[in-house]
A and B are shown apart, each in its own frame.
Chain A
Amino acid sequence: MNGRTVRIGSGAGTSDDRMTPALELAERGEIDYLVFECLAERTVARENLARSRDPGKGYSPSLHERMRMMLPVCIEKRIRIVSNMGAANPIGGARAARREVQELGLGDIPVAVVLGDDVSALVRSRPELTLLENGEPLESLLPRLVSANAYLGADVICEALATGAPIVLTGRVADPSLFLAPMMHEFGWSYDDLPRIAQGTAAGHLLECTASVSGGCFGWPGKKDVPDMARLGYPFADVRSDGSIRIGKTPDSGGRVDVMTCTEQQIYEIHDPTNYITPDCVLDITRIRFTQEAKDRVRVEGAMARPRTDMYKVTVGYTDGYIGEGEVSYGGIDAVARAKWAADIVKERLRLRGFTYEDFRVDLIGISSLHGDTGDRPEPYEVRLRMAGRTPDRRAAHALGFEVRAMHLNGPGGAGGACEPRIRDVLAVKSLLLPRELVKPQVVVEGSL
């Protein structure tokens, strides 16, 4: 039993992630579990809106295509799928997944569903809760509240795995918990096994962004070369009951897994490295070590943890007006001067039309759009003017892109390639903490076991 290794693969780090590398991992990676992490900060809020328009929707729209592609090989090889693609409607997602199974002629398989992350009713009755970002009471956002979801932990996912269902679907859970849960399930780890929980959480953090630990978000020409980058292989962790972890990737794929890629990903999105709070533990990576054991194989040791806190972190989503956006290009002689003139004209035009904006931004793409205006950058040959504004008024948002596009006929000479006016709904998020005992995670099974 001690020598048994469980291999957990990472098949998605966002709902828009590539699908074929996950398929290759399932086909050739000899994995036992395949985890799809598909929820960004505001995804659940967006999907909650989708569900309010159609009660059958609200799970990740990528679920259908992903399941159709992965299910045949996963069912054949008995690879269990764990995913947060349930988003704002895990039950709806489970039903959709079961339909896909049936349509593929793979029979009738049950899906275990994790519920309880949706705490919107609970927080609505507690307007005095404090928002972590600004210390203000939740009350100010309540009229515009779209969603409130607690980041659930591995314990309830582990419970879902214990049902034996081949697929586990969740809504909002912490990303590393998706990976830790199969380890706890396989080896019977409890939250008291802090060194193992720490190792599993660190491994989950390494895996949760797929290729970001195997050469993606990493390559740098001449400095950090990555082989065969168009065929990046997705990663897996080999886990043993003592908490030992090795990171690897699909055989015969592009990319690299080494101490450098693991180090970049381990620190990614961590603030205080002694105090990374998940629902499962408080992780400390200040003693973690990576060792290259073989090509594309890294041993992870030394993760530490303190016990989990008695709070769940909750993300609240709320509508916050619109962002309007427009772009137009200038090239050659006086390109920058003409772009700046156009920006002034658009601003004046919007003022004349009586529109105001909570936040407004002018970018010169090629000079200042990514890293701000230092005032001393050389002028490029061509420049693209981009203007964006946030406003509660949808007409004001549209006018912005409209007036930028109007620079074709009404602005400085030689304006080219304006985009159509762009408008998007703003779904903003803030955070709060809820005492653990108020949240009731639970598991239900769709279909018969």
Chain B
Amino acid sequence: MSLRVYDLAHSRTGDKGNTSNISVICYHEEDWEFLQRELTPERVMEAFRHIARGPVRRYELRNLKAFNFVIENALGGGVTVSLAQDIHGKSLCSVMLGIELPDRGRTAAPKE
């Protein structure tokens, strides 16, 4: 099994209108820079292209060893009009966790 976001981080989805925000929070501080390098907005957009039109913005929260991904046009027009089962997109954090990353072993990266 290749390395996934799931192995390094936990995640929660929030919604506002037609926009989804998905946090990615490292279990270990040491993994933050690896995710900063590899979990780019482009990689996230690719994983969500069946669900969202985008764009995707990434905000860094170094203090919380976290990132916040804001994905536009992700919720079928918005919670109040969406035809989806999961109108809030609460389940979308699982898509984020399933994103595969270039392998570098499952343990934390060595400190530089």
Contacts and interface: CB of A to CB of B under 8 A. Distances in A.
B12 A360 contact: no
B83 A267 contact: no
Interface in B44-90: 50-51, 57, 59, 61-64, 66, 68, 70, 76-81, 83-86, 90
Contacts of A427: 80
Contact of A388 (B14, B83, B92): B83
A270 B18 CA distance: 14
Given A359-B83, A361-B84, A370-B85, A264 B50 contact: no
B68 A323 contact: no
A139 interface: no
A133 B80 contact: no
A406 to B, nearest CB: 20
B41 interface: no
A365 B21 contact: no
A130 interface: no
Name, among A218, A267, A270, A429, the residue most crowded by chain B CB atoms within 10 Å (CB to CB): A267
B64 A133 contact: no
A271 B91 CA distance: 18
B12 A268 contact: yes
B68 A270 contact: yes
B12 A264 contact: yes
B83 A41 contact: no
Contacts of A265: 12
Contact of A217 (B12, B15, B78): B12
A360 B66 CA distance: 36
A267 B85 contact: no
A287 B63 contact: yes
B interface residue count range (under 10 / 10 to 19 / 20 to 34 / 35 or more): 35 or more
Given A288-B64, A429-B80, A371 B59 contact: no
Contacts of A268: 12, 14, 21, 23
A100 to B, nearest CB: 31
B28 to A, nearest CB: 12
B16 interface: yes
A403 to B, nearest CB: 16
A224 B6 CA distance: 11
Given A273-B59, A289-B63, A371-B50, A426 B81 contact: yes
Contacts of B57: 271
A21 interface: no
A224 B10 contact: yes
Nearest to A133: B17
Contacts of A426: 80-81
A271 B50 contact: no
A428 B79 CA distance: 8
Contacts of B84: 361, 363, 369
Contacts of B94: 371
A271 B85 contact: no
Contacts of A42: 79-80
A271 B68 contact: yes
Contacts of B15: 269
Name, among B21, B76, B83, B85, the residue most crowded by chain A CB atoms within 10 Å (CB to CB): B83
Contacts of B68: 267, 270-271, 273
Nearest to B15: A269
Nearest to B51: A372
Nearest to B23: A267
Interface string A418-449: 00000000111101000000000000000000
Nearest 10 A/B pairs, CB to CB: A372-B50, A269-B14, A267-B23, A361-B83, A388-B83, A264-B12, A268-B14, A372-B51, A428-B80, A370-B91
Given A269-B16, A286-B61, A371-B95, 16 more contacts: A220-B10, A260-B25, A264-B23, A266-B64, A271-B21, A271-B57, A272-B70, A287-B63, A289-B63, A302-B63, A320-B81, A361-B84, A369-B86, A371-B91, A371-B94, A386-B85
Interface of A: 41-42, 133, 217-218, 220, 223-224, 260, 263-274, 285-290, 302, 320, 323, 359-361, 363, 365, 369-374, 386, 388-390, 426-429, 431
18 contacts: A42-B79, A133-B17, A217-B12, A223-B10, A267-B25, A267-B64, A269-B21, A271-B21, A273-B59, A288-B64, A289-B63, A323-B83, A361-B76, A361-B83, A361-B84, A386-B85, A390-B81, A429-B17
